Every structure is written in C-alpha cells, then in structure tokens.
Amino acid sequence: MEHPVKKEETAPPEIAGIDDNRRLSLAHLPTPLLHSERLSQLVDCELWIKHDDATGGATAGNKIRKLEYLLAEACSLGASVVLTCGGLQSNHARATALLARSLGICPIVFLRTSAKQPPLVGNYFLDRLCGAEVRFVSPEQYARRSSLMEEAAEELRQAGERPYVIPEGGSSGLGALGYVSAMEEIRHQLDERGPSGGFDVVVHACGSGGTAAGCTLGAAQFDVAPEVCAMAVCDDAATFEARIDELVGDAQRRAPSLKRRAKCIVDDRFIGPGYAEVSDEQTEFVVRVARQSGVVLDPVYSGKALFGLAQLAGKYRRVLFLHTGGLPGLLAQSEVIAARSWPSR
Ligand SMILES: *Cc1c(COP(=O)(O)O)cnc(C)c1O
C-alpha cells in the first residue's frame, strides 16, 4: 500500500493556516458525526458522537490521526525503524505497529507488563500478528520509558538503522495536530448538516494528553465548542493540566496560526479502581450502552469517559462525544466483563 504525502491528490486537506506540516493520508476520513437519540436519554443531554472508532479497520481509533503527522515526519527522515511504548494492551502501540508495516518500516514496541508470558489477546495479539518486535518492560522500567527508547535508538543507529522514536500515546505537539485537523473536519460537517451553533463541549477520554491538547486548540480555531472536557483514565487532573499545557505550547510552536484555545477541564473523578481496571458500575454502563444503542465502548477509555458524562447529568446541553476507539482492548477483557453481573435487559 502506498501512502502519499499531503501535497498529492489523495492527501487530506491541510489545516487552514498550517502549511508547513506534511501529513500522510492513513485514516478513513471523514468519520461519521451522528446524533444519538437513544444515548441522549441515558446521559441526559443532546448527544452527538464523532465516530473515531471508525478511522480504520485494525488500525482504528484516535491514534491514527496523530500518526498521520508523526509517521510523515518519520518517512521524511527516511526512518527504517519506529519505536514506541505503552501498556500491554496499548491501542497506540498496535496502531503504530500496523501503520509502520503499511509503510515498510519495522516497528519496535515497548510494552509495560509484569507478566512473563501475557495472554495473546487484543492489541498485543495484533502487535504479534504483524511481527512487531516486542520488548517487555516492568512498571519500574516503564517510568523511564523515554530514556529506554532513546538508548535503544542509539544502539540501532550504531547498527546502521534509522530509528524514529514516537512518545507514549503519540502525544507530542506534532501528534496533537491530528486533533486540530479533526476539529476542522467537524467544522465542515457542521457547516454541511448542522447542528448550527456547534456544541457546548467536546468530551473524550484522556490517557496521555495529546487528544485533549489538539481538541483544545482545534475547538477554538474552528468554533466547534468553547470547552473541552477531558475525562482522565489515569493520573490526576493537575498532572494532566500541566501536560496538556505543555503539549498545547509545543503544537503552537509548530503551527503559530493556532492562537486561541478552548477552556480545557480535566475531570479525574471517573477513573474507577485504576488504569485499565473497571468498577461494576462502569462495566454495567458499557453493557447498557451496547444494549440500548449498539454503540460499543471500551472499558479502559471511551466507556469511562461516557460513564463520566452520564454522571454530570444536566451540566451540558449539547455535547460532542469523541469516540476514540479501543475495541481490541474490550475484546481482551471479555472474560473479566462476562464474569460480572449484567443488567437483565
Ligand atoms: C489513547 C486512547 C485515548 C486517550 O488519548 P490520549 O491522546 O492518549 O489522551 C482514548 N481512547 C482510546 C481508545 C485510546 O486508545
């Protein structure tokens, strides 16, 4: 498969005002923007869903939008290997591995786990399927993931390779531009079909801050919403606020035309028992959503974010919920979820 850079015919449009960034055309765009009457009742607001769970097939989810920018840079530097990291069931590592393969680049993924032989399911299975080189790292080692990857890159350089390192979650100023352009895509959809006036807020799950940073800049730039509500799935609000600020600054240095930013609220009240751990209440919510609407959320990210929105009942009138994907993570937890008590209907 060939992925032309943006100046060619099949390339995605440039973000208005950002003309110095090359971008690959990797995602299936535009993704649907749909009003969900059924879920509006459940979460007590007028709910619209931006289906970034449909940005691809096995590559789907929010990471591919960031990777359109990151892998374009990798290609322009002539990378032969990309290195990235995440949890064992990282959607980002899986998307990076598959997309690297589509570009003829070798993927190396650093996955955090304390298991010696983790079960071959979900995202990790897809990493293996495409033959990514998997390096397991303990939670303690993972704390210094950036230097681990830099050291590995240096070794590869010595061996004559051209490594390109992508940070956790693809969250850098460059990666965040993927969500600036997502907001521009939504602006076009609003102009074509409404709802006129845009949204009160963009709500999404927040794990490494890049999506929040891009949405914060893009929502203001393209008048999509005055506010972004980033539902944390790990770490506390103060940590994310600092991280998002940093990423916004980096993105603005890359694209100086992005001057305004929407208000960004990080809500850390709905993490539940911990990262990738779900309460009974959250599990039941994911089940209820699937039964009421056919919308499939994942328990690690999008399920917690929409669950959080439901708890804010009445705070917002018209909401854009960004469905960020995560299906392989759900499938990896099928046994855990099946073991819980489910609502009867
Ligand atoms: C990575 C991820 C997120 C969080 O996005 P960040 O930009 O890392 O904050 C949300 N949902 C899913 C399904 C993800 O894989």
| Per-block mean pLDDT, blocks of 10 residues, the chain (345 long) | 48 52 90 97 96 98 98 97 98 98 98 96 98 98 98 98 98 98 98 93 98 98 98 98 98 96 98 94 96 97 98 94 98 86 62
Pairing of strands 46-51, 33-35: antiparallel
| 266, 241 Cβ separation under 8 angstroms | yes
Half-sphere exposure of 162 (CA within 13 A, CB side): 10
Q: Ligand 1 centroid to 62 CA: how many Å? A: 6
The string of pLDDT tens digits covering residues 63-80 is: 999 999 999 999 999 999
Q: What atom in ligand 1 is closest to the CA of residue 298?
A: 13
For residue 133, what are the CA distances in angstroms to 9, 141, 312?
34, 18, 42
- The protein residue with its alpha carbon nearest to ligand 1, atom 13, reads 326
The total number of residues shown for the chain amounts to 345
pLDDT of residue 137: 98
Give the three-class secondary structure for 113. Answer: coil
Question: Which pLDDT score, from 0 to 100, does residue 20 have?
Answer: 42
Active-site residue (options: 36, 90, 172, 208): 90
User: Ligand 1 mean position to 1 CA, how many Å?
Assistant: 26
Quick check: is 208 catalytic?
Answer: no
In this prediction, residue 16 carries a pLDDT of: 54
Give the model's pLDDT for residue 304.
98
Whole-prediction pTM value? 0.94
According to the model, what pLDDT value does residue 341 have?
64
Best residue among 51, 208, 244, 331 to mutate for probing ligand 1, ranked by most atoms within 8 Å of CB: 208
What is the spatial distance between Cα 271 and Cα 81, in angstroms, rounded to a whole number? 34
- pLDDT value of position 314: 86
**pLDDT tens column, 145-189:** 999 999 999 999 999 999 999 999 999 999 999 999 999 999 999
Question: How many CB atoms are closer than 10 A to CB 194?
Answer: 12
Q: Residue 16: count other Cβ atoms within 10 Å of its Cβ.
A: 13
Read out DSSP for 199-260?
-SEEEEEESSSHHHHHHHHHHHHTTS-SEEEEEESSS-HHHHHHHHHHHHHHHHHH-TT---
With contact defined as beta carbons under 8 Å apart, do 124 and 111 qualify? yes
Q: Rounded CA gap, 62 and 166, in Å?
A: 15
* For the CA of 329, the nearest atom of ligand 1: 13
pLDDT at 335: 85
Ligand 1 neighbours, Cβ below 6 Å, are 61-63, 91-92, 169, 171, 205-212, 298, 301-302, 324-326
Q: Which amino acid is at 206?
A: C
Pocket test for ligand 1, best of 301, 306, 327 (most atoms within 8 A of CB): 301
